[in-house]
Amino acid sequence: MEKLIITAALTGAENTREATPHLPITPREIAADARRCMEAGASIVHVHARREDGTPTQDKEVYREIIHLIRQECPGLIIQVSTGGAVGMTPEERLQPVSLAPDMATLSAGSVNFGNDVFLNPPQVIQTFARAIVEKSVTPEIEVFEAGMIDNALRLVKAGILALPLHFDFVLGVPGGMGGTPEALIYLKNQLPPGCTWTVAGVGRAQLPLAAMAIILGGHVRVGLEDNIYYRKGELAANAQLVERVVRLAAELGRQVASPMEARKILNIDREVGAC
Ligand code: KMH
Ligand code: ZN
């Protein structure tokens, strides 16, 4: 089996310092957590930016600083920026960090209810984002909250905007999206064309069981405070603790963990390391 790629989703756009004191918010805090996660075994960091007051932002300059600090702290680590941002942001706002040519960027492949809101990704927006990502030679990660989003991404392949093989992230357990169940994960991974890779981001209590399943099924794993702030019921976690647990699980299950350089190979990220 391919080595296991662990992504640390450090901050997200939704969780707050009030909910957990472990949430990294400033560029320095984010870079320091990225280093702890890399040392623990993560090869990708999924990055969201926050303003000083903790509110989410897609401001290119804040991302520039985060990327610069992560590059200093964590040579080789794969930096994946969010183009999802927070619900309610305009597409123009959301797309800003792609212009910095990071290693990877997310591409949400459809609209979905998101708690009490709607995470809006109409076809034109998905196409515009895909074109912008490809134009900068950034590797996309297709965010899938619902089964039809795989078809949406494959439609972009048919249209010649994206090329196979693609890397997918199944985000399961968002209230409004597909549930965080074993059946959902198995269904989704079975829809992918040969050669595509996938990771799973289980939300809340789905994080740990879906991570274990992905290790066994040959997928990859995303953990972190963006998706889940608890180590176990009632006990808050830090990002690196969640990564460390996946590393231990992988060892018990006989799956080796990929280094950032190995993850670059698996995901066909052929840009020069640290190019952005
Ligand atoms: N914050 C969510 C609305 C992504 O990073 O690309 C969207 C999200 C997806 O987090
Ligand atoms: Zn995100």
Query: For residue 80, what is the domain's CATH number?
Result: 3.20.20.70
Q: Do the domain assignments include residue 272?
A: no
Residue 238: phi and psi, rounded to 5, are -100, 155
Q: Do the domain assignments include residue 115?
A: yes
Q: Do the domain assignments include residue 78?
A: yes
Per the prediction, the chain carries an average pLDDT of 97
Q: Do the domain assignments include residue 67?
A: yes
What sign does the CA torsion over 130, 133, 135, 138 have? negative
> Looking at residue 157, what is its pLDDT?
98
> Looking at residue 274, what is its pLDDT?
65
Nearest to 177 by CA among 205, 214, 149: 149
Q: Do the domain assignments include residue 177?
A: yes
pTM of the model: 0.98
Q: Which of 89, 106, 112, 114 to mutate to test the pocket of ligand 1 (most atoms within 8 A of CB)?
A: 106
Amino acid at 259: S
> Looking at residue 270, what is its pLDDT?
81
Positions in the chain short of pLDDT 50:
none
Nearest atom (ligand 1) to Cα of 107: 6
For residue 148, the enclosing domain spans: 6-266
Q: Report residues whose beta carbon is within 6 angstroms of any ligand 1 atom.
A: 12-13, 82-84, 86-87, 106, 108, 114, 119, 143
Q: Do the domain assignments include residue 140?
A: yes
User: How many domains, in total, are found in the chain?
Assistant: 1
Per the document, the length of the chain is: 276
Q: Do the domain assignments include residue 240?
A: yes
Q: Do the domain assignments include residue 275?
A: no
CA-nearest residue for atom 7, ligand 1, is 84
